[in-house]
Structure 1
Amino acid sequence: MIIPSKIWFITGVSGGLGRALAREAAESGDIVFGTLRKPEQVEEFNQLVSGKTFGLELDVNDHSRADQLITHVRDQFGRIDILVNNAGYGLFGAIEEVSIEEARQQMETNFFSVLALTQLVLPIMRNQESGSIIQISSMAGIRSNPGLGMYNASKFALEGFSEALALETAEMNIRVMIVEPGPFRTDWAGSSAVRSQKIINEYDSTAGERIRMINNYSGTQPGNPVKGAKAIIKAIKSDNPPLRLVLGKPALDGIREKLKSIEQNLSEWEATTLNTSFD
């Protein structure tokens, strides 16, 4: 059997960045297994790049099913070269507006499902002594905004464990790359978005205003998913992939502004910071 150059496992390939990444990888000659929540989407994905793309029905919160599918791919090809944790959604609402159940669901999908899939592929990659794990985060994983606090929390958590993972697997030839897109022309701000059930009028000028802005630019975002996918493939197949890959000028500007703010804060309070040790 001729082994293709790479075997990919990508979650959330019904559209947006996940779909674009699946197509670009398959058209380059790799084989891509992509997960979709609806059974009717599976056959359509099979035809995306015939003979190269294979759809798998999966709700990423079903960890038992995820285990079965990872095992299926491993048994079929003997390896998984690249895992892309892309599936997720945005929960919109001020911190006080979001219920505990809504917050838990956000963390289950954006954090715990990613953790579960990452843990499932690690033994395979350790055994084959190679692999790449791509975590699709967001500029929101670095910088917070009103109305996105719980989404921010899920992406901050994702980035935290992924940084540690990169340090833990560096000597095993397993590479970790955190992708931080800004606004891309996907359904994230449209049909995929979830609004908290509770709405409190006092937050209308902060969280409410930000949420309306995001909803209004859905479909007109500057980021091109195809170009984003090409950038991800270029980076992960390079000799020295970055720990973080920022996508788009809004993300780059926003993250730089956050870093500048941190440095300013550190400088202003440096004397107080240093005056906390025993004499």
Structure 2
Amino acid sequence: MDHLRLLTDLHRHAARQGPGGEAESRQAMRLAGLAPSRPLEIADIGCGTGAAAILLAKELDAHVTAVDFLPEFLDELRSRAHSQGVADKITTCACSMDALPFADAYFDVIWSEGAIYNMGFEAGVSTWRRLLKPGGMLVVSEITWLGATRPPEIQAHWEGEYPQIDVASAKIAILERHGYSPWGYFVLPRHCWTEHYYRPMQRRFHAFLERHGRSDAARAVVEAEKTEIAMYETHGEHYGYGVYVAKNIGR
């Protein structure tokens, strides 16, 4: 079984495929001025198994187009949406985030939690802007340095993993350069990483390894995740997910 299929199997039954939380998603909604007073078309790009898409469908008068390139995650999302009574408000789309098949100026909101790094922040916000109506809102979370200095080992790690990591001011400058007006920014608190993402993942390790006969490949996946968890527990004050809220200010 290849690496991607193993990762998919580890994460497909998880509530979240990355750090986040309902309270924090609601905070982002408030910063974006989203309320159930008018109907909205929302794209949740890189939706995973649907934590944000389902919350948006519950909280707002919205139709949510949930986009992910992994059909297994979308299958799980549809099952969860049905059980939570919002299946009629969510449409899934299995496609790549860099080749979205939607008309220009179609969406009122583009939402993406912990996924834009797959394209890169600048490529994502610039490419997706065509999909937003003038005045539409962008809400994305992005791995971000939380200060100007950090230990050399964490600098080297993230520059190897994601060279576009930067401080929030640099990310905000990118938004301004590509036709957005920044409306808000906050950092996901530590519990979004530990209690909402890492601890549930750790509880899945044993069953995952058993399903795959404790193969070398499966053990390598678990060891990589353990390394990531240890790195955050040691150096998490230096980086985190910044949540960026911005308005498309026209063509």
TM-score, normalization: structure 2? 0.49
- Which structure has more RCO (C-alpha within 8 Å, separation ≥ 6)? 2
TM-score, normalization: structure 1? 0.45
Query: Larger C-alpha radius of gyration, 1 or 2?
Result: 1
